[in-house]
Amino acid sequence: MSDRFRRYGDIYRAVIYGANVYVSRDPQHAEHVLRENWQCYTKGLFSKRVAILLGNGLMSSEGTLWKNQRRMIQPAFHRNVVAGLTKVIASSNRSLLKKWKEAALQHIQVNVTRDISSMILEVTLAAIFGNDYQQVAEHFNVLSEEPTRDLKFAQAFRSLQKIVFLIAAERRKKNPESNDLLSKLMTARDLSGQPMRDPQLVNEIKTLIVAGHETTASTLNWVWYLLSRNPEAQDRLWEEVDERTPGDATDLDRLDEYPFAREVIEETMRLFPPGWLVTRKALSDDQLGEFFVPAGTEIYIPLYFIQRNPKLWEDPDRFDPDRFTPERSKNRHPFAMLPFSAGPRRCIGESLARVEMLMHVVTIAKGLRLRFVGRAPELDPAVNLRNKHDFLMEPEVRSEPAADLISECQACIDRPSAGHPSGD
C-alpha cells in the first residue's frame, strides 16, 4: 500500500482477494464512507474473518441485528460503569509494576508483550465477569498465550463459550445485577422489552473479550517501545507523573491531570493504530469524490496511512506527542486521526480503553524505566497491527527500590530486625 500511495496519490483501485477495491488515505473519503453515507455500506470481506472467530457479535453483525444490539450494549460503557472498573485496573497494574520491579532488582529482562497481554486480559475478564472472574480466568489464558488467530485458534476459542453459558445460567438463578459488563448485557432489554438470547449474549461477550484485549495491549507495547526510543519524551512523562500523588490515577476526573501521558498514547495510536485497516462494501452505487463506486465495490480505509499521510501530518513518521496539544490540533481535519474509527460503527469500548491505557502508563512510569533490548520490530499487519516478535525490555527501578519492596514483604514488616528470609 505504501508503495502504491507513493505512486498513485491518495486513492487507487486494485483487485484484492477477487474483489474490486478502492484503497484511500484521503480523510474526506473516510468521512463520507464512515459517517455521511454510512448506510450505503456494510462491513466488507475483512470482517468475515472476524466473524469466523467471534460469531455474529457487534463487530461483524449488520442491519437491524447490529442496531438493536448496539442500543442494548452502549449503556454498558457509560462513564459510571467505567468509573466502577478503575479499582480493578489499578490493582492489575500494581501487580505488574511489582513483578517488573522485582525483575529490575534481579537484572532480568521482561517480556513486555506477554506481561501486558496477561494484565489486559485480566482487566478485560474482570470488567466483564466481575466476581465470577476467578471461575473463568484459567479458561481464557489461551488468548494471551497463543498469538496466532487461525482456524485452530477459532475452534479452541469457540469451545470456551460453554463457560459463558454456565455463568449466565447461574446468575439467572441468583440476582444478575452488578456493575460488570455481563450483568449490563443480561439486564438490557430491546425496544420490545426482550432480553438478549443466550447464543447472542455469548457472541457479544466473545467479541468484547477479543476486541478489548488485543487492541489495548498492542497499543501499550508500542508506547513503551516508542518511549524507550525517545528519551526526551520519557523524561517529560516522568516529570509529569512525579508532580502528582500516586493515588490520583484511580479517579477518572483526575486522569485529566496527565495531559502529556495522554498525548503519548495518542501519538502511539497515530503511528501504530491497532485496527490499522477498516473496510466497507458498497450496497448500492455511490460516488467517492470524483470516483464512481459501483455497488459491490469494497472500500479499504487504512487508518495507518491516513494517520501518516504527509498532506495531513508534518514529518509523519516522527514520534512527536506535542502534535496533540490543543493548539496544534486546532486546524486538523477531524478524520485525520481516527484510531477508534468514526460514525455509528465507531469503537464502543473507546472510553474504557482510554482509561485502561492512561492508568497503565501513569502507574508504570511512576516506578520504572523500560529499556528496549529485543529485535528491531517488524510489522505484522493482520486484523490487528502487531510486532512479529515479542517486545523484550530491561526494567530499571526509578525511585527507592529497596523501601518499596520491603514495605510489601510481610516477613520484613513483622520482624524488621531479623532481615529478609532470603538473606537479601
Q: Which residues bind ligand HEM (CB under 6 A)?
A: 43, 58-59, 70, 207-208, 211-212, 215-216, 219, 274-275, 278, 339-341, 345, 347-349, 352-353
> Whose grid coordinates read 497491527?
385
Report the candidate in 369, 364, 113 with the shortest Cα–Cα distance to residue 231.
Answer: 369
Asked if residues 122 and 141 have their Cβ atoms less than 8 Å apart, the reply is no
R_g of the chain, CA atoms, integer Å: 23
**Residue 76 beta carbon to ligand HEM: minimum distance, rounded to whole angstroms:** 9
Residue 352 or 370: which CB sits closer to ligand HEM? 352
Taking the complex as a whole, the smallest distance from the CB of residue 279 to ligand HEM amounts, in Å, to 7
Shortest reach from residue 204's CB to ligand HEM, in Å? 8
63 or 247: CB nearest ligand HEM: 63
Residues 211, 349: contact at Cβ < 8 Å? yes
Cβ proximity of 242 and 351 under 8 Å: no
Q: How far is the CB of 362 from ligand HEM (least distance, A)?
A: 16
In sequence order, the β-bridge partners of residue 279 are 300
The separation between CA 346 and the C-alpha centre of its own chain, rounded to angstroms, equals 13
CB of 385 to ligand HEM, least distance (A): 10
**CA–CA gap between residue 272 and residue 387 (Å, rounded):** 10
Q: What residues contact 356, with CB distance under 8 A and at least 6 apart? A: 89, 120, 123, 216
255's grid cell: 486522569
Type of residue found at 36: E
Cβ proximity to ligand HEM, 103 vs 130, nearer residue = 130
Residue 54 C-beta: closest distance to ligand HEM, Å: 9
CB 237 within 8 A of CB 260: yes
Q: Which is nearer to ligand HEM, 215 or 234 (CB)?
A: 215
**Cβ 205 to ligand HEM shortest distance, Å:** 10
298-302 vs 379-381, strand pairing mode: unpaired
Cβ proximity to ligand HEM, 13 vs 71, nearer residue? 71
CB closest to ligand HEM, residue no: 349
Residue number, 118 or 215, with CB nearest to ligand HEM: 215
Nearer to ligand HEM, 206 or 369 (CB): 206
